[in-house]
Chain A
């Protein structure tokens, strides 16, 4: 079939019209083979201009179209829409920029006209090689895997499951034959996988969190209950993700459910099983400050309120004769036969919300943590302060007496790890405030090197603590904790003069570090970690909620230290992105400009595989070729440029198309 090319040159009123001899271009190009129409227009992007184009395409029965006008960044999409509306495949249209890149930068009208003409010729040359591209859609799973049941994971889960999609079915009534409208709804399912036996994460158990000094369990309880009760949320506690394969829209995930030995269905959470258990071990949740049984819940109020039997310490599970808990349970919930299981789920997207951890202060030996009794980490004093903690909320020294003086040391390990954790100044201030409320006469010294008070509430909280009489001492970060046998001594320097302070208790603010599981997940998904070991984001400013792998999102402190509010925001953003991409009942539209590999030509050299920045190319070892995953490819063309056998093709930027352009512009 003979091609019918239409060429339209926009004058953009005087913008192009005065700088370029548009008419001469129009008359020159109209003589080119296959160009059936060449016209100028005053403002193509106007409604009138768009209508003009639509008529030209339809009436001229155009099979290809070239527009010379402003930058394609402005109205290319608008013109593509016109093509589509007029029945012309939008990829059989080419736009060339004669305003920003010619008229506006070339004062000499003759030169500008010649350059614009060349660009038009190049576009006309190119258009003959363009191919129509059809939009591709794939079936996707709307369900989502959320890894981590902390604040971020909970928020994401609730956002993702908040609304279903109404479905109206028209059914014929069998008897009367009259149509009947039936309503039902489709819901997105979320699989919430949490490694520990309970959800709520790390911060979710603290009784008073800044900025509001609210109790986190109270704040979170309704949300946790909602998650646990929702039909479309499957909460898999005490579980870990072991394998993830597939790509955006269709991931298959293998999850290992550890044996809990207590049936979640049967248990009513009466806790009658704890008392009779003869085994006592240190309760790591109270950071070794108290004891627990071999059957236990991590802390009072933990949800789901179902105990777990600790396999290492349970007598029965270690071949001894004991079934005290089983006997005490009136609901038959104890199941010593429970087995670990691997379960499989299919999801369209994944949110990583595995949190972080406070680093172990023994890494910084100058502070005497682990060496002296009354040197505590911030989290330990939080436990002492908590009503569900080992002292029932009393701040006590190891010998059971109240401290008369406490040193809070900020920025522990900051220099060593090389980043500011951003939340310690605030939680230390909050802790100091609580301690001061409980022990009004205690003398508190806060040693800091830099204060980080960036948010609108922070300054106010800090001032409140100052007003309570907490003394802030700015040292040079060389604090050293020693002991004279009776009391602790904090040695420090101010402007290189040495000072020291006798003290009863020292509280350290260790840095926030990546969780130990982060490497495993990064490896499973083949996504990068940043230099500090947190998940890297796709773009730190524009896409801080996404991993650089399509369909994988990050939320909360696994992306970097942050407070509860920021974690919630990030989780909502991640969930929102998923909601807008994986619509219930809809297919996923793929990026049309991607690369493709000609299987006949590909020799399986694999050069492209290592070059792809999006891991979109895989090897088909059976056929010994490379294959491109359309859902991951973004069409940069790097693989195309590198393919030694010319097997790879960049849609809409093919070798033929670009060569055709070069031929014209190089002349």
Chain B
């Protein structure tokens, strides 16, 4: 069964990217409604399991945003996230999930515009890929 609408589960670190998303709001920039935010303390907290679960529970994309490299509030959490996500993407491919459905990027607390841009790009990407069909492999 194919869904018409799709969701993008979005993990934002508490210190930079969450505030960046708030800044997009303060500037009244349009962001796609299918971006659904979950706040974590650091992008380093995002475990592969979260991403897999998001797909399994119906998400068509997962967006993870952290502080810019070198700016992580906990020094290196975002580097850890980067390593992990690279590996995860490879694994997801084996389940037939296109790599572009997961995106890891950096947004600082002042970059409202950048947040909105990435959010819209992500929505466009997923729109092009189409909603993720129910995944046998993951269930």
Contact = CB atoms under 8 A, between A and B. Distances in A.
Interface in A91-124: 97, 99-108, 111-112, 114-115, 118-119, 122
B41 A104 contact: no
A634 B59 CA distance: 31
B108 interface: no
Interface string A622-662: 00000000000011111011100000001001010011011
Given A105-B31, A666-B58, A97 B19 contact: no
Contacts of A71: 18, 22, 25
Interface string B36-74: 111111101111011001111111000000000000011
Nearest to A105: B31
A658 B41 contact: no
Contacts of B126: none
B45 A640 contact: yes
A614 interface: yes
Interface string B85-114: 000000000000000000000000000000
B45 A653 contact: yes
Contacts of A415: none
Contacts of A613: 74-77
Contacts of B76: 613, 638
Contacts of B54: 662, 666
**Chain B interface size range:** 35 or more
Nearest to A643: B47
Contacts of B28: 104-105
A662 B53 contact: yes
A666 B33 contact: no
Contacts of B127: none
Contact of B41 (A103, A548, A653, A667): A653
Given A105-B28, A106-B31, A108-B33, A638 B42 contact: yes
A100 B74 contact: no
Contacts of A73: 18-19, 22
Contacts of B18: 71, 73
Contacts of A108: 33
B122 interface: no
Given A107-B30, A613-B77, A641-B47, A635 B22 contact: no
B41 A635 contact: yes
Contacts of B77: 613, 636-638
Contacts, number: 131
A606 B49 CA distance: 20
B80 A655 contact: no
Interface in A561-620: 593, 611, 613-614
A548 B45 contact: no
B123 interface: no
B95 to A, nearest CB: 16
Contact of A666 (B7, B29, B30, B73): B7
A356 B81 CA distance: 38
A634 B74 CA distance: 8
A662 B57 contact: yes
Contacts of A665: 7, 9, 36-38, 59
Contacts of B55: 666
Nearest to B5: A114
A397 B73 CA distance: 56
A119 B36 contact: yes
Contacts of B80: 611, 638, 641-642
Contacts of A637: 40-42, 44-45, 77
Interface of A: 71-73, 97, 99-108, 111-112, 114-115, 118-119, 122, 548, 593, 611, 613-614, 634-638, 640-642, 650, 653, 655, 658-659, 661-663, 665-667
Interface of B: 7, 9, 18-19, 21-22, 24-26, 28-31, 33-34, 36-42, 44-47, 49-50, 53-59, 73-77, 80, 84, 116
